[in-house]
């Protein structure tokens, strides 16, 4: 008798869509039915969380990268009884610092002035490790996702991120098997933010991937898929 596949919600980051998770959707298809959230139209992290809870059946496993991790932590705040397993990738439980908010406002102003296409090239050195900056295939995937999210989606997402609550105090209440994963070269949410989360969450595994930046699911797809498989089958 074949076991029913696990229900897995995959929550993308800023300017990302299902393509962020393509390697994992394909690599986990034998054990998980994947559902990728669409975060273009919501204007708060709470609205994003509500969208996921409405989309997913009953109880489910959940993996969020960057902004998706902020949404995952909001879901844990709202409906922990529905989450069977949690994976937090290249993210943080902290709210934005003043410097991060200032940087986001600068990108918002750039997009509002009509230079949305200039946003992603500026972000690329922060999104991927230096070794990937000459990888045209990877850069094309990232630019394609940004184009599909579009200017209005980007503005909505940045405003949602800037107004998200701090979740540090909530971590100790997480009681499900948890994976915390990041790239060693992630400059947006560095490894110490992940060490902080893994230390606070009971039963958390920490994975740090060398030669990898912020978009780990695309930079080190096989390693991320393997880590998610171990987490799902724990």
* Residue owning tokens 């290249």: 90
- Give the C-alpha separation, 196 to 89, whole Å: 13
Mean pLDDT for the stretch of residues 17-21: 98
Burial of 174 (0-12, 13-18, 19+ CB in 10 A): buried
- Write the pLDDT tens digit of every residue in 158-196: 999 999 999 999 999 999 999 999 999 999 999 999 999
Chain mean pLDDT for the chain: 95
The predicted pLDDT at position 213 comes to 98
Residue 224, pLDDT above cutoff 60: yes
Q: CB-hemisphere CA count at 13 Å for 120?
A: 21
Quote the CA–CA distance of 210 and 132 in Å, as a whole number: 13
Q: What is the pLDDT of residue 2?
A: 54
Distance of CA 139 to the CA centre of its chain: 18
Q: What is the 3-state secondary structure (H, E, C) of 129-158?
A: CHHHCCCHHHHHHHHHHHHHHHHHHHHHHH
pLDDT for 1 beyond 50: no
pLDDT on residue 106: 85
pTM for the full predicted model: 0.95
Q: What is the pLDDT of residue 59?
A: 98
Q: What CA–CA distance (Å, rounded) separates 48 from 193?
A: 23
- Give whole-number Cα distances, 220 to 57, 70, 194, in Å: 30, 21, 17
Query: For 82, which DSSP code?
Result: G
What token pair was written down for 148? 């599909």
Measured distance between the N- and C-terminal CA atoms of the chain, rounded to whole angstroms: 20
Q: Are strands 178-183 and 83-89 parallel, antiparallel or unpaired?
A: parallel
87-119 confidence digits (pLDDT tens)? 999 999 999 888 888 888 888 888 887 767 777
What is the DSSP-derived secondary structure letter of residue 174?
-
Provide, rounded to the nearest whole percent, the portion of the chain with pLDDT above 70: 99
């Amino acid at each position: 008798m074949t076991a029913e596949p696990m229900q897995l919600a995959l929550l993308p980051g800023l300017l990302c869509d299902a393509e962020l998770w393509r390697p994992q959707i394909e690599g986990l298809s034998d054990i998980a039915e994947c559902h990728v959230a669409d975060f273009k139209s919501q204007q708060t992290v709470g609205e994003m969380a509500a969208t996921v809870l409405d989309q997913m059946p009953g109880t489910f496993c959940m993996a969020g990268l960057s902004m998706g991790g902020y949404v995952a932590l909001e879901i844990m705040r709202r409906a922990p009884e529905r989450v069977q397993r949690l994976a937090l990738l290249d993210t943080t439980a902290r709210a934005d610092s003043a410097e991060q908010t200032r940087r986001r406002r600068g990108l918002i102003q750039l997009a509002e002035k009509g230079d949305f296409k200039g946003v992603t090239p500026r972000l690329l050195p922060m999104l991927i490790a230096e070794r990937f900056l000459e990888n045209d295939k990877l850069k094309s995937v990232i630019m394609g996702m940004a184009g599909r999210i579009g200017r209005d989606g980007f503005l909505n997402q940045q405003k949602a991120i800037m107004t998200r609550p701090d979740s540090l105090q909530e971590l100790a209440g997480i009681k499900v098997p948890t994976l915390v994963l990041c790239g060693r070269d992630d400059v947006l949410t560095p490894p110490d933010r992940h060490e902080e989360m893994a230390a606070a969450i009971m039963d958390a595994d920490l994975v740090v991937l060398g030669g990898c930046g912020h978009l780990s699911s695309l930079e080190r797809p096989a390693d991320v898929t393997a880590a998610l498989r171990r987490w799902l089958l724990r």
